[in-house]
Amino acid sequence: MIREVRGVGLFCGIEFCAPRQLRLRTAFEAFRAIHAGLFGQMVVMNLFERGILTQMCGNNFMVLKAAPPLVVEELEIDGFVTRFKMLSN
């Protein structure tokens, strides 16, 4: 469901797209029909529950913005990637 990852350094945007599998796409489209930003907010809340603070990018509800603090450690970056991968499980 990830279309593109873009950015500079650790400041990045992760753009999502509709899933290819019909089973997942149906649920995805249902969320979008309720509110365009509902899917993105669910991603943000899931990451927050795992200790990662992110937000959706401006008015594009399909781009997740990750901007770690300047004092971030490599272990914390690895933790972000691991927790982000957990969303797909």
CA distance 32 to 61: 10
Sorted by where each begins, the domain ranges of the chain are: 2-86
- Position 80 scores a pLDDT of 86
Over residues 17-40, mean pLDDT: 89
Partner residues linked to 60 by β-bridges: 57
Q: Is the dihedral of CA 58, 34, 52, 62 positive or negative?
A: negative
Using pLDDT thresholds of 50, 70 and 90, give the confidence band for residue 4: very high
42-89 pLDDT per residue, tens: 889 988 888 888 999 888 889 999 888 889 899 988 988 888 787 765
Helix, strand counts (H, E) of the chain: 3, 4
- Please state, as a whole number, how many other Cβ atoms lie within 10 Å of the Cβ of residue 54: 20
Task: Classify domain 2-86 by CATH number.
Answer: 3.90.1150.10
8-18 pLDDT per residue, tens: 888 899 999 99
